[in-house]
Chains A and B, each alone.
Chain A
Amino acid sequence: MGQYLPLITLLVLTGVFGAVSVVVSRVLNPPRPTEAKSSAYESGITDITEPPERFPVRFYLIAMIFIVFDIEIIFFYPFTMVYSELGWYGVIAIVIFSAAVFESFLYLISNGALDWGPARISRRSVIASDPDRTSTTTVRRVGADGRAFALDGEES
């Protein structure tokens, strides 16, 4: 266990550094949020739609696939350590295993789950091309008390 001492030291140092960073930033820069500060920056243009989701759902699929193949690769490690003892028997065993897992790879490709082609614009944004939009409805007036719609009577 002694050889883990540097690791533990590093761990402790990391923890201390993290804690100090948080505390110091709070002390030196106390948070005073206003509406203007906390809203998304859109070059002064009123954001009329909610911001898009941070991650498309497709990333989830990639993450799932990653885990599956991660687990598969992990089984290879013990095999490499004992393959000389096992001989052909081990090779056949691992080939059967990997063939069974890689066939799901085939399925993924055929399903287009890994297609990350150039961005495909499927439809125009209706809102952006709305003929009713004028500079008064779109451009945001930045005041001292945060931001609000520059429309008459439409405070939100």
Chain B
Amino acid sequence: MFGLPTQDEPIPFDELPLDDPLLFDEPAGVVIPDIEWSAIAPNLILMLGGILLLTVVSLVRGRTPSWFSAVWTISTAVFAGVTLVPLWQRVQDDGAESVMAGAIGLDGFSLFVTGVMCLSVVLGALLLEGYLRREGLAGPEWYVLLLLSASGGVTMASANDLIVMFIGLEILSVAVYVMAAMHSKRVSSQEAGLKYFVLGAFSSAFLLYGIAMVYGATGTTNLVGIQQFLSETVLTQNGLLLAGFAFMLVGFGFKVGAVPFHNWTPDVYQGAPSPVVAYMASGVKVAGFAGMIRVFVVTFGPTYGADWRPMVYALAMLSLVVGSFGAIVQTDVKRMLAYSSISHGGFILVAVAANSEAGTAAALFYLLVYTFMIAGSFGIVTIMGRTGDGLHALSDYRGLSKARPGLALLFTVFLLAQAGVPFTGGFLAKFYVINSSVSQGQYVLALIAMSAAVVAAFLYLRIVVAMYFDGNTYRGESATLAGPKVRIPAAAGVALGIAVVGTLWLGILPGQMTSVAGDAVAQLVAIGP
């Protein structure tokens, strides 16, 4: 009745030969796995970089210059990015592999996502540098958490085992929960951290529950094993597996902020420190989608695609609609961008729902473009928040075109790219997504995505209008920005430069990156002999 699995004849505890000295010397058949460090070099560098940074600043407490942590973080991320090149070559030449005892998959997909994560760490660290000085928040901990969180994201993207993926997700999230609450002078930051933590823990529990069910249905947590089992066996009773899909989708849906699991997004984005939001919106989302694609498209896609696709389809549709329309009624720029990021999440979900290699490539390209756009947008928001990080109302942007025309122009570029205007990366990203969707016959979803893009464009134009046209007569005075003077720290300027170059480069000369995204195939390969 309860299906309690027990052995038929359990051996009583005192009959177990525990005191037999020979027991522990017997050859137990433990196969020592082959650990190849170079295969996980990028992840290892991020992890070690974070841990060593913590050690160094602990040993020389207070005697490191203020730029030290930022420079360390950026060089670590760049170094990790550089090590991707030989690995990419190796994967392209010799094919994908399973390393670290089958826990980590070395394939184009994971390397691509690692690169995007490194990029978002660089951008986040550049934004943090000036921000921490402006806000008077000392502390290398921000950078330590940034690096460790990114390593969690990389772990997630390359995990070949559900348990490894879960730990990666927790490393990624716990660090970001803390970072969201780390602006100790703002109550709203602490509120955001608390909300994010409570809801995040809840969704992690869902994911774990789903993992347990999938384990129950397939007998393994290894993605290679699951895929193999499902392709070889026809489950006559697959209720447990399907329930596992549903629960896992809740967990991933929360991480990527898909409707109806999006409610935390506006509040957290609004309250959390702006550079952290830049990382949260880019890095965390990238890792969340990477995990989702790895589990759903790659593992369950070939055999059970028909079962989970309707669910993702619904999530995509809701995210597009709620994200686009929700953004319109906001008056706070951070909340607006939060809703727009929900709508972007909907677009990527459209690519996920396509359940094809073209869809995965489109999602990867979108994620890369999105990282540039959203990190750039939140970079501007970071600067415009000014001391106290509190000036985020739409009215605070009035007259920006007169006060800082360069900044206004940059923000316009990022917003137009998000709207999907041609000659920006955003246009092509949306184009590839819709293309992949149509080729899988999802015409309705493609239509909704296009309409949502039009509706969302209204939001971006609203901000542009506020910057360019409203400012002329603000409070009867002509053309000055309300509030204190806007200062652009050098590091943040570099970050904005990288972001705008990336956004335009991917819009004008996309060929190289689209072929790389096309080559970034996710594969599940069993451990070699």
Contact = CB atoms under 8 A, between A and B. Distances in A.
- The short answer to whether A and B are in direct contact, CB under 8 Å, is yes
Interface of A: 1-3, 81-82, 84-87, 89, 100, 103-104, 106-107, 109-111
A84 B61 CA distance: 40
Interface residues of B, number: 16
A82 to B, nearest CB: 7
Given A2-B12, A3-B13, A89 B58 contact: no
Contacts, number: 37
B450 interface: no
Q: Which of A81, A104, A110 has the most CB of B within 10 A?
A: A110
B61 to A, nearest CB: 5
Contacts of A86: 30, 32
B30 A110 contact: no
Contact of A84 (B13, B24, B54): B24
A107 B58 contact: yes
Residue among B10, B57, B58 with the most chain A CB within 10 A? B58
Contact of B51 (A81, A87, A103, A109): A103
Interface of B: 10, 12-14, 24-25, 28, 30, 32, 51, 54-55, 57-59, 61
Nearest to A100: B51
B24 A110 contact: no
18 contacts: A1-B10, A2-B12, A81-B24, A82-B30, A84-B25, A85-B28, A86-B32, A103-B54, A104-B54, A106-B55, A106-B58, A106-B59, A107-B54, A107-B55, A110-B57, A110-B58, A111-B58, A111-B61
**Chain A interface, DSSP helix/strand/loop, else mixed:** helix
A82 B10 CA distance: 24
A146 to B, nearest CB: 40
A103 B55 contact: yes
Contacts of B57: 110
A1 B15 CA distance: 12
Contacts of B51: 100, 103
Contacts of B28: 82, 85
B18 to A, nearest CB: 11
A69 to B, nearest CB: 16
Contacts of A2: 12
B58 A85 contact: no
Given A84-B25, A85-B30, A107-B54, A3 B14 contact: yes
Contacts of A1: 10
